[in-house]
Amino acid sequence: MNTRSLARIVRSLYFRRRLARDIPRLEGIVSAELRARGLTAARLGGFIIRLDGDHLSVEPVPPVPSGQLRLPRMENQAKI
């Protein structure tokens, strides 16, 4: 591996570690907002966010056409 490739990998590693340090803070913000709104799940920007105790999950979902009705299992989930 040449020096240039190694330097690129080191920069990438540094950037990803820096981003990873922000994950707990960002999860805390999202969890607090869901709790403040009294929600355990929400659909936001193409993602479904679920809060189960202290565990926060974020999953991508396909877009829903604007005229489609909500499914019964979605009644506890809000669109933020």
pLDDT tens, 7-60?
999 999 999 999 999 999 999 999 999 999 999 999 888 899 999 998 999 999
φ and ψ at residue 44, rounded to 5 degrees:
-150, 120
Q: Is the pLDDT of residue 68 over 80?
A: no
How many other C-beta atoms can be found within 10 angstroms of the C-beta atom of residue 49? 21
Q: Is the pLDDT of residue 78 over 60?
A: no
Q: Is the pLDDT of residue 75 over 60?
A: no
The whole domain housing 38 covers 3-79
Number of domains in the chain: 1
Rounded CA-CA distance 64/57 in Å is: 20
φ and ψ at residue 22, rounded to 5 degrees:
-80, -15
* pTM assigned to the model: 0.66
